């Protein structure tokens, strides 16, 4: 159950990371409220998952999901670069996340 909660927390990190772009420095109310809400829920869920998962593993997986998700969202929705080096780097992050999951008891 902790892993599922951690994945949801990571997905919410993607929401708030991308949401930051739309807040325009927190000058737009609706995107700002959505971003802050996603931040708070993401942190709460991360904290909950850390009750049973190792801290280093949970934090690394959370940030990995957020980084990969934000980068993919940037590529798909915002027209950011999808260079081979960038894709390979994202795949390495995913490999690290999988390795942490496999090695956690």
Residue 105 pLDDT: 67
Alpha-carbon span 23 to 29, nearest angstrom: 7
Alpha-carbon span 66 to 64, nearest angstrom: 5
Tell me the pLDDT band of 104, cut-offs 50, 70 and 90: confident
Least reliable range by pLDDT among 32-36, 46-50, 85-89, 100-104: 100-104
79: left (phi over 0), alpha (psi -120 to 50) or beta: left
């Amino acid at each position: 159950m902790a892993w599922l909660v951690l994945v949801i927390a990571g997905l919410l990190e993607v929401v708030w990371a991308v949401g930051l772009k739309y807040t325009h420095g927190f000058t737009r109310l609706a995107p700002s409220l959505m971003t802050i809400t996603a931040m708070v829920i993401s942190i709460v869920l991360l904290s909950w998952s850390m009750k049973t998962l190792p801290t280093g593993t949970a934090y690394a997986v959370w940030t990995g999901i957020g980084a990969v998700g934000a980068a993919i969202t940037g590529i798909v929705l915002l027209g950011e670069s999808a260079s081979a080096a960038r894709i390979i780097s994202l795949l390495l992050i995913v490999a690290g996340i999988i390795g942490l999951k496999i090695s956690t008891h």
